[in-house]
Amino acid sequence: MDTQHLQAFVAVAETGSFSAAGQRLHLTQPAVSKRIATLEQQLDSPLFDRVGRQISLTHAGLSLLPNAKRILQEVADAERAITDLRGEVRGRLSIATSHHIGLHRLPPTLRHFTERYPDVKLDLHFLDSEQAYEEVLQGRFDLGIVTLAPEPDPRMTEEVIWRDHLYFAAAHNHPLAAHDTVTLEDLSPWQAILPDTNTYTTGLIQALFSERGLPLSVGMVTNHLDTLKMMVSIGLGWGVLPQTLLGDGQVQVLTTEQPMITRNLGAIHHRQRSLNNAARVFLQLLKG
């Protein structure tokens, strides 16, 4: 079995679509279909049931999937080990990061890394931090540069790179902006704009209000902090924003009685997956 055929099979199985698999692999849909057809011929068994536009794994496909993932991982590990033995910084480096970190924290490191190590193929994906954790655990990415979970995952190696201070903010014409000092009791009646409830950041905010026995009214949800800032700036509700988004005066920081909220941003990688030279060098640059 050709590893390219296995890559196509895994991509279709994970995305549920030949076209989406093609986008992931930078191939046309017919090219993906051809690779799957060749693999099915080699195995003398259909791997997908195709009903209209819906596809699902057959029993043979379900049996092949974990083995295909293992084979591809072992091939990647072998290639990485040989490259590392030569001391070269090349090959592929896959990183999952959040939109906020990718836009506001990573650019200097990315620029330095790509200029210094042009032989590394950088594969950068923007995901919510919580999703990035799962993808790193599944072996899809070498590194995650994310908001770190409040409770460390024993399967992960985690390193704090930045401590992100969060501030309550509102539009300049919002009634809360007229307060010299704002309490959680003042905030509670007003609509909040926050990331999704399953995010680490919103979990921190919900915990503050729960400790006081106060309701938290979340009227709108967006996981993109730049979008959240825009919604706050036009008066749709109050929000909680990192310091990196507060320097242009578009929103007013609310002075609160509350101690400063801090979240840790940093790097994660699977403890059972050895880092290649490219990943190790990238982490060194990231830590400065």
The answer to whether residue 85 scores a pLDDT higher than 70 is no
CA nearest neighbour of 257 among 201, 186, 155: 186
pTM: 0.71
Share above pLDDT 90 across residues of the chain, in percent, rounded to a whole number: 76
Looking only at the bridges linking them, the beta strands covering 120-126 and 54-57 are unpaired
CA distance 213 to 223: 25
Q: Quote the percentage of the chain above a pLDDT of 70.
A: 98
- Identify residue 233 by its one-letter amino acid code: S
CA angle 118, 123, 125 (to 5 degrees): 140
Measured distance CA(264)–CA(152) in Å, rounded? 11
Arithmetic mean of pLDDT, 187-205: 93
Rounded mean pLDDT of 121-130?
93
Q: Where are the beta strands (DSSP E) in 83-224?
A: 91-97, 120-126, 143-147, 156-170, 192-194, 218-221
pLDDT at 87: 66
Write out pLDDT tens, residues 252-277. Answer: 999 998 888 999 999 999 998 888 88
Give the pLDDT band of residue 86 (cuts 50, 70, 90): low
Q: Which residues lie across from 194 on neighbouring strands?
A: 221
Q: Round to whole Å and give the CA distance between 245 and 251.
A: 9
**Full set of structural domains in the chain with CATH:** 1-81 (1.10.10.10), 162-263 (3.40.190.290)
The per-residue pLDDT for 92 is 87
Min mean pLDDT across 48-62, 92-106, 185-199, 227-241 is at 48-62
